[in-house]
């Protein structure tokens, strides 16, 4: 007589990481963030914060050769937590054991009003009166996805890389480098125009979909290089979520293990060829905008708060506007033996209107969160 089998047990390590991330966000007191739109009074609503992380455990170049005296590579551990006025205590995203798409959450797209303003984030906005279109997913919970701001330039750079790999364009170093390292908008215009000349905008979306990244959208950009609100693009058309951004960076990280969500039936080609991927990684590591999760370019600003420390390599891209602040990248130890290897992404509505100083891009609470994420990554490495 065959014995009954027990249902598979879901690994608890992902849940423990999620709770660590949730506690780290709550510890920063984001509900006390000063808002210039309220004359410096605290925010009217708990901010929207989409935070995701994967920790690989062994770092750059680790091979897990026990015979050589190295510990085996740990299995990746991941989590995604989301906060908003509707979820002020935090919502833990349901992610399966293969790190696939988020389940049980409907992601609603950001919007603008008739005048092109991001009215969802006004202090007096009433979300019950706003018709948010569905971006992706379904389920009992919803999360309104903040615009990624200049973090979108990571998607543009990937599109440029695809065009180069297909022989449709030469690598435009004079444009891609400033677009990534200093977030130059005019360079971005030229890169977006290149995507249209090469005819790869639709292909980029097809690749994102085929690779299981349904919330990455670079919609309604123009052949003239337009990607802003005034071009009919921008807020309400360009979208990223933290979990899909982390998984995009996973595909761009040559030191990460194979992506577990990619089944054998998925197109096996890499997103970018190795040489192109390395070019992009080098630009992300040359990032000069360290003012969100990392903050060392603000060290001379009064009230400075340390974020991810300069002692780690953070290959990343930031994004800020009046209403939004985002940061995403690969975190690794600077020198061997590697003791840290993680990917993190945060997308928020905490833009420049919440900054305590004219040189800041956001509240000091986001660098403080970056420092907390560094401690968590070390604990899980």
pLDDT digits (tens, 9 = 90+) for 87-135: 999 999 999 999 999 999 999 999 999 888 899 999 999 999 999 999 9
Helices (H) and strands (E) counted in the chain, each on its own, are: 8, 13
What's the start-to-end Cα distance of the chain, in Å?
Answer: 44
Give residue 3's pLDDT band: very low, low, confident or very high (50, 70, 90).
very low
Alpha-carbon distance of 154 to 295, in angstroms, equals 20
Give residue 269's pLDDT band: very low, low, confident or very high (50, 70, 90).
confident
3-state secondary structure of 142: strand
3-state secondary structure of 363: coil
- Name, in order, each residue with C-beta under 8 angstroms of 380's C-beta and a sequence gap of 6 or more: 17, 20, 55, 57, 77, 342
Q: Which helix (H) or strand (E) holds 144?
A: strand 141-144
| Main-chain phi, psi angles of 371, to 5 degrees | -65, -40
In percent, the amount of the chain with pLDDT more than 70 equals: 90
Alpha-carbon distance of 281 to 223, in angstroms, equals 27
Cis (ω within 30 of 0) for the bond into 337?
Answer: yes
Rg for the chain, CA atoms, rounded = 20
3-state secondary structure of 216: coil
Q: Which helix (H) or strand (E) holds 81?
A: strand 77-84
User: How many structural domains compose the chain?
Assistant: 1
Residue 256 clears pLDDT 50, i.e. is over it: yes
In percent, the amount of the chain with pLDDT more than 90 equals: 86
* Inside any domain, residue 170: no
* Inside any domain, residue 315: yes
Summarize pLDDT for 133-165 with one digit per residue, the tens.
999 999 999 999 999 999 999 999 999 999 999
Q: Which helix (H) or strand (E) holds 50?
A: strand 49-55
Q: Looking at residues 227-241, what average pLDDT do you find? A: 97
Alpha-carbon distance of 153 to 176, in angstroms, equals 9
* Inside any domain, residue 227: no
Q: Looking at residues 206-230, what average pLDDT do you find? A: 96
Copy the structure tokens of residue 43.
Answer: 């925010």
* Inside any domain, residue 195: no
* Inside any domain, residue 84: yes
Q: Looking at residues 50-73, what average pLDDT do you find? A: 58
Contact 345, 338 (CB under 8 A): no
Strand partners, 330: 315, 343
Q: Is the dihedral of CA 153, 154, 158, 160 positive or negative?
A: positive
* Inside any domain, residue 76: yes
Q: How many CB atoms lie within 10 A of CB 221?
A: 26
Residue 265 clears pLDDT 80, i.e. is over it: no
Q: Looking at residues 208-227, what average pLDDT do you find? A: 96
Average pLDDT, the chain: 91
Q: Which domain holds residue 73?
A: 12-148+238-265+281-380
* Inside any domain, residue 35: yes
* Inside any domain, residue 218: no
Torsion angle of the four alpha carbons 86, 324, 329, 27, in this order, in degrees rounded to the nearest 10: -50
Nearest CA to 333 out of 5, 57, 46 is that of: 57
Query: pTM for this one?
Result: 0.93
What is the predicted pLDDT for the residue at 380?
Answer: 87
């Amino acid at each position: 007589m065959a014995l009954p089998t027990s249902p598979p047990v879901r690994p608890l390590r992902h849940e423990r990481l999620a709770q660590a991330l949730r506690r780290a966000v709550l510890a920063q007191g984001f509900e006390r963030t000063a808002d210039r739109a309220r004359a410096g009074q605290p925010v009217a609503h708990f901010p929207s914060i989409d935070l995701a992380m994967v920790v690989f455990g062994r770092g750059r170049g680790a091979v897990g050769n026990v015979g050589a005296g190295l510990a085996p590579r740990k299995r990746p551990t991941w989590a995604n937590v989301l906060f908003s006025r509707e979820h002020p205590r935090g919502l833990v995203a349901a992610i399966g054991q293969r790190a696939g798409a988020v389940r049980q959450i409907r992601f609603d797209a950001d919007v603008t009003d008739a005048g092109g303003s991001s009215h969802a984030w006004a202090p007096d906005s009433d979300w019950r009166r706003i018709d948010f279109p569905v971006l992706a997913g379904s389920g009992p919970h919803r999360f309104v996805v903040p615009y990624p701001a200049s973090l979108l330039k990571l998607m543009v750079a990937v599109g440029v890389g695809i065009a180069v790999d297909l022989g449709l364009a030469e690598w435009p170093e004079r444009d891609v480098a400033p677009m990534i390292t200093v977030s130059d908008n005019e360079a971005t215009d030229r890169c977006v125009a290149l995507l249209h000349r090469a005819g790869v905008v639709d292909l980029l979306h097809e690749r994102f979909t085929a690779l299981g990244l349904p919330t990455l959208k670079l919609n309604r950009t123009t052949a003239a290089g337009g990607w802003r609100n005034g071009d009919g693009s921008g807020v309400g058309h360009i979208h990223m979520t933290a979990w899909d951004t982390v998984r995009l960076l996973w595909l761009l990280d040559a030191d990460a293990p194979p992506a577990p969500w990619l089944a054998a039936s998925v197109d096996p080609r890499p997103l970018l060829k190795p040489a192109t991927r390395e070019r992009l990684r080098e630009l992300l590591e040359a990032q000069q905008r360290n003012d969100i999760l990392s903050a060392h370019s603000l060290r001379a600003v009064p009230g400075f708060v340390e974020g991810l420390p300069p002692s780690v390599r953070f290959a990343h891209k930031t994004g800020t506007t009046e209403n939004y602040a985002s940061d995403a990248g690969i975190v690794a130890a600077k020198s061997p033996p590697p003791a840290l290897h993680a990917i993190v992404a945060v997308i928020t509505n905490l833009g420049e209107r919440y900054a305590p100083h004219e040189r800041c891009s956001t509240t000091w609470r986001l660098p403080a969160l970056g420092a907390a994420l560094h401690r968590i990554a070390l604990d899980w490495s």
